Structure 1
Amino acid sequence: MGGLDIVVILIIAANVILSLKGFNDFSFFEKYKFNIGGIRRGEQIRMLTSGFLHVDTMHLFFNMLTLYFFAPVVVGFLGNIKFLIIYFSSLFAGNLLSLFFHKDEYHYSAVGASGAVSGIIYAGILFRPDMSLHLMFIPIPIPAYIFGIGYLLYSIFGMKNQIGNIGHDAHFGGAVGGYVVTLIMAPWLFQENLLMIGILAIPILVLFVLQRLGKL
């Protein structure tokens, strides 16, 4: 996928620096994490800063490793500025969905770049649906679009059943944000990958139906 562009290096560096600061400074971490109570008090900066904090080094490592693999695809097709637009749009979309689902849970907190990274994953899949992903513990390559659909369906399952201490709603919101913004900025994809666009929309429709039926 080629070497990393400077803008991707800067995003990864910001995540590493701020996450390390959060690991060693509890008050810093508490002040800037995603927290419903804090946001509803007017601390909207948390909607941004929480995306540059992580729970631990493993959380940070896997998010940055995923970004390392998918970001060059997006930069290669759209350039630096549009990559940043997708990244931050996905970050905010993930946090907005979390805010929507947890708006009355004042103690609900979350951190991580997963929403932004999910958006970049989906942008990468839209541009290169023929990509194959090699995941740990799975001996065969997985088509990118199969991974994408499975990722969102698992996120819906996780949201519905509150599996683990994971912000599944932020993952889902970020992926949807990346999907929508990418299509807005690259409408030619409707001519080249219309079938794939429709297939990747299926989990989004499932979430919408479940939400309307009150199943989430």
Structure 2
Amino acid sequence: MYATLVIIAVTCVISFLGFKNEKLISDLILWPPAISRNKQYYRLLSYGFIHADGQHLLFNMITLFFFGQLIEQFVTGYIGTLGFVAFYLSAILVSILPTYMKNVGNPAYRSLGASGAVSAVLFGFVLMQPWATILIFFIPCPAIIYAVIYIAYSIYMDRQGNDNINHSAHLWGAAYGVLFLLAMEPRLIENFLAQLMQPRFM
């Protein structure tokens, strides 16, 4: 999981620097006017390497650490290590595009964090191992059950729109992760459905 560790390291370094440097956050955060008016398109990626606080960073990086290994191994087997990196970076981009388009004229909107890309990795894992055990606040839960709860909660909270969390990015990231893996290996859907018919806890 070389690439996963490098991504985690880079994200942690940039995020830690950002905790002590408001200008760095301001320069990297997704702010629609900076993209639409000033052509700072790099922000569509750079926002994914900064976080609001240590808890935000820790949650995303722990999730990436535990689920990135399988996804990196799988993706690398098809398109190499750089292909996995491209998958992660493209997930950062794709997961934020609907939010950006919705807020392109909103100077008050800002977004940061790797949650969209991490959701892509997590749901790629769920596609491959739906009955694997995921610990949610130290409570074991089948991955597929967690995925259903996660999606339902994200849709509900996205409609509420009052907690300053970009749930839309979570949803688009999750969908992108599944679609990317299926485009690369369509037989995964057959494996997924077959596993669903044989419930078991791993």
- 2:88 corresponds to 1:73: no
Indicate conservation of the 8 Å contact 1:55/1:111, yes or no: yes
In the alignment, structure 1 segments of 5+ residues that lack a partner are 198-216
**Equivalences for residues 1-216 of structure 1 within 5 A:** 5-41=1-37, 42-79=39-76, 80-136=81-137, 138=139, 141-194=140-193
Percent sequence identity over aligned pairs: 32
Q: Could you report, residue by residue, the CA deviation over 1:117-137 in whole angstroms, capped at 9, with x for unpaired residues?
A: 000001111111121111116
Alpha-carbon contact 2:131-2:195 (below 8 Å) kept: no
Can you give the 5+ residue segments of structure 2 that lack an aligned partner in the other structure? 197-202
Name the TM-score, length of structure 1 as normaliser: 0.83
1:155-182 CA distances to partner (integer Å, 9 max, x unpaired)? 1111110131111111111111111111
Partner Cα distance (1:101, 1:181) in 2: 24
Distance apart, 1:196 and its partner CA: 7.4
Match of 1:212 in 2: none
Deviation, structure 1 residue 81 = 3.5
Distance 1:10 1:165 in 2: 29
Distance 1:19 1:78, change over 3 A: same
For residues 189 and 137 of structure 1, do their structure 2 counterparts lie closer, same or farther at Cα, with a shift above 3 Å needed?
A: closer
Q: Match for 2:54: what amino acid?
A: T
For 1:193, what is the secondary structure of its paired residue? helix
Question: Distance in 2 between the 1:36 and 1:59 partners?
Answer: 22
Aligned residues: CA RMSD: 1.7
State whether residues 3 and 72 of structure 2, in contact with CA within 8 Å, keep that contact through their aligned partners in structure 1. Answer: no
CA contact (8 A) 1:86 1:182 kept: no
Residue pair 1:22, 1:29 contacting (<8 A) in 2 also: yes
Secondary structure of 2:136's partner?
A: coil
Contact kept? 1:89, 1:178, Cα under 8 Å? no
TM-score w.r.t. the length of structure 2 is 0.88
